[in-house]
Amino acid sequence: MAIRYSVIGLGKLGASMAAAIASRGFSVIGVDVNPRAVELVNAGHAPVQETGLEEMLAANRSRIRATLSHRDAVLNSDVMFVIVPTPSDERGAFSLQYVAWACHEIGRALAEKNDYLNIVLISTVLPGATRCGLLPILEHESGKQCGRDFGLCYSPEFIALGSVIRDFLSPDFNLIGEFDERCGSQLEACYAQIMENHPPCRRMSLENAELTKIALNTFVTMKITFANTLADLCERLPGGNVDAVTDALGLDHRIGHAYLRGGLGYGGPCFPRDNVALGFLARILGEQAALAETTDSANRALSQRIVKYLQTLIPKGATVAVLGLAYKPFSHVIEESQGIHLAKALSHAGARVIAYDPLANETAKPELAYHALVLDSLSSCLEQADVVLVATADPVFQALRVADFKHLPVTIVDFWRILDKELCGKPNIHYIPFGRSRDDHANQARLNELWSDATPRVD
């Protein structure tokens, strides 16, 4: 008999998982507290913006249905994925308020279920949350015993917004934290049928899996921050070029090229908070996660240094265009966006700020209401801008050509160096690629002074 699935929470990850599982031939029930999300899914439409989601939901509409009822999902599924928000609290930890409420609802319905249900938490939590925070709720509300009557796993996904469906169906690996062997084995078998690329699976205790999730994200942000540090140094060396340095570093198999690219700091809904959470966990355990805390502080300091530098480039009364308001390309999410931060900071400094993003315009307009004018077209930005800041490496910006810059002369600060071949050395365009030497003469003089005492004297 085919496994029946349910997904609690129809946000970006939940809706994408439901559609992806259905695309593999399985029946899926989606649950959300938002009636509009339920209505859209039942109509075959995406409740959120995510690459390929609308098309996949429409193509698999016959195998997906959505409901407001947790009871319906519990009674009619064998494996239930729980994907609800776990926002950061004032301590830097992950709050369980929403997932705890979901577990209360699941537990009450579980009391009526006669067969086994494997409950799989996907949301990011700190070690101990699944076993100590959520399991007691499920057992209390259901009157049943985990292991005997139902299963409980922690199995986070390692996805990126904008490519959620692809990342879910073809992950580097599957991570399963298991209460016992039964629930872990069942989930591993499910993943073997769902995933398209037959990835390796690592099964471990609930607590080890919870730690692995935040450890992976903090390691990635450390790598990003290291590349940004190299970019900062390259700007101060004669002929400095961060791309030359990181390209060579990435050839070493111990390092690799992924996430090793100097640019603006990281942002989004996950990366910034995971370093803070790991620091909190370490303090609670009587230790210190100095590396995670330093990564977080270095990332925040980077944007401040960039704003200070930009103020030296922007003439009084100039119009500055920020291209890229989402925290990354292919996304409308503006949480912890470096582009948003730049727009606000430069507005406070007295610049007239205009902005554009291919996907995030509508999301950004309320956030920038008193700081910047979000324009409906890229050409409108370029027609007005004295200074252009390329804040994301979006393909729309990569496609820009000299002829697109009609307001000349113009200064262009390219934080990702995507327009180097097109704009470098062109008349009336002052092109500044972030992460490369700003002033070879001054940089050489600095090195000459550093090593002057080491130069042998000739008598």
For the chain, the residue count is 459
User: How many C-beta atoms lie closer than 10 Å to residue 429's C-beta?
Assistant: 18
Distance CA(280)–CA(126), nearest Å, equals 10
Backbone angles phi, psi at 440, to 5 degrees: -60, -40
Helix (H, G, I), strand (E, B) or coil at 8: strand
Helix (H, G, I), strand (E, B) or coil at 36: helix
**Burial state string for 321-355 with b = 16 or more CB within 10 A and e = fewer than 16:** bbbbbbbbbbbbbbbbbbbbbbbbbbbeeebbbbb
Side chain identity at residue 453, one-letter code: D
CA nearest to 83, candidates 51, 43, 113, 48: 48
Q: How far does CA 448 lie from the centroid of its chain? A: 42
User: How many C-beta atoms lie closer than 10 Å to residue 298's C-beta?
Assistant: 19
User: How many C-beta atoms lie closer than 10 Å to residue 252's C-beta?
Assistant: 9
Distance CA(308)–CA(331), nearest Å, equals 27
Residue positions annotated with a catalytic role: 270
Helices 206-234 and 242-250 pack at an angle, to 10 degrees, of 140
Sheet holding 319-323: strands in order across? 373-374, 352-356, 319-323, 387-390, 410-414, 429-433
Strand spans (E) along 195-317: 201-204
CA nearest to 305, candidates 434, 392, 411, 397: 434
DSSP state, residue 389 = E
Q: Residues 327, 160: contact at Cβ < 8 Å? A: no
CA nearest to 325, candidates 336, 314, 312, 309: 336
Alpha helices for 47-134 (secondary structure H): 53-59, 70-75, 97-110
Question: In which element (H, E) is residue 430 found?
Answer: strand 429-433
Tell me the two tokens of residue 154.
């922690």
Helix (H, G, I), strand (E, B) or coil at 35: helix
